[in-house]
Amino acid sequence: GQQLNQSPQSMFIQEGEDVSMNCTSSSIFNTWLWYKQDPGEGPVLLIALYKAGELTSNGRLTAQFGITRKDSFLNISASIPSDVGIYFCAGPYAGGTSYGKLTFGQGTILTVHP
Amino acid sequence: DTEVTQTPKHLVMGMTNKKSLKCEQHMGHRAMYWYKQKAKKPPELMFVYSYEKLSINESVPSRFSPECPNSSLLNLHLHALQPEDSALYLCASSQGQATNYGYTFGSGTRLTVV
């Protein structure tokens, strides 16, 4: 099956710093999704990307769908303590199954020091 | 209403108990999902229901039994679980194919099997 390689696995940053994380795959994806999960909660969709080359922003978050369709990155600018959590990239399983299965990256654990 | 509601929030059960997890959404979504998530790991798909019919079973042990009574409700019946089944169980729903819309996740049920 498809694999998503997400990096870095964890980040420890100071409040106010910018953050960048990315996902790569050996297979082509048609959609990239970025989720954030707070402790004890379910993942929340941050940004969805549907076209190669697409650059989308949501407040301090910016994500891009790579031109090769095999990668995506998420940037967070001017981090704040509430950015703490686990960030997951996700993409649809390429098997074409409808109501399908998402492949998730392994997650990036973000810690922000005040 | 843009939420997926899961009950209970926490559940502790013995290995001989029978319990049920419940999930509800009123967004008119026609696909609903059960995921299992271990700490600091990505969610793993268990079941997919499409238009109230089971469409995907990811080779889940029979001690987990899903049920979709109507388009708004999804249950997961648990019986004779093992301690290794302790995890966060997430319900999700989507309007259409996940590739286009992403999922809305509930907050999860934290299950502990003793």
- Residues 13-32, chain A: which have Cβ within 8 Å of B? 30-31
Q: State how far residue A78 is from chain B, nearest Cα, in angstroms.
A: 24
CA B46 to chain centre: 8
Confidence check: pLDDT of A97 > 60: no
Taking the Cβ of residue B31 and every Cβ of chain A, the question of whether any pair is shorter than 8 Å is answered with: yes
- The whole-number pLDDT of residue B95 equals 83
Q: Give the pLDDT score at B96.
A: 67
Q: Which of A82-86, B55-59, B101-105 has the highest mean pLDDT?
A: A82-86
Tell me what percent of the residues of chain B surpass a pLDDT of 90.
Answer: 81
Q: Do B102 and A104 touch (CB under 8 A)?
A: no
Which of A62, A76, A1 has its CA nearest to residue A32? A62
% pLDDT > 70, chain B? 94
pLDDT at A82: 95
Residue among A48, A101, A107 minimizing CB distance to B40: A107
Q: Could you tell me the end-to-end alpha-carbon distance of chain A, in angstroms, rounded to an integer?
A: 40
A85 touches chain B (CB under 8 A): no
pLDDT in tens, A11-67: 999 999 999 999 999 888 888 999 999 988 999 999 999 999 999 999 999 999 999
pLDDT at A101: 76
Q: What pLDDT band is residue A98 in, cutting at 50, 70 and 90? A: very low
- When the pLDDT of each residue in chain A is averaged and rounded to a whole number, the result is 91
In b/e form, how buried is each residue of A30-58, taking b as 16+ CB within 10 angstroms? ebbbbbbbeeeebbebbbbbeebebebee
**How far is C-alpha A49 from the geometric centre of its chain's CA atoms?**
10
CB B81 within 8 A of CB B71: no
B45-95 confidence digits (pLDDT tens): 999 998 899 988 999 999 999 999 999 999 999 999 999 999 999 999 988
Which residues on A lie below 8 Å from B24 (Cβ)? none
The pLDDT of residue B99 is above 80: no
Which residues on chain A are in Cβ contact (under 8 Å) with B98? Answer: 92, 99-102
Q: How many Cβ contacts (< 8 angstroms) between chains A and B? A: 69
Q: What is the pLDDT of residue A91?
A: 87
- Report the gap between the CA of A77 and the closest CA in chain B (Å): 24
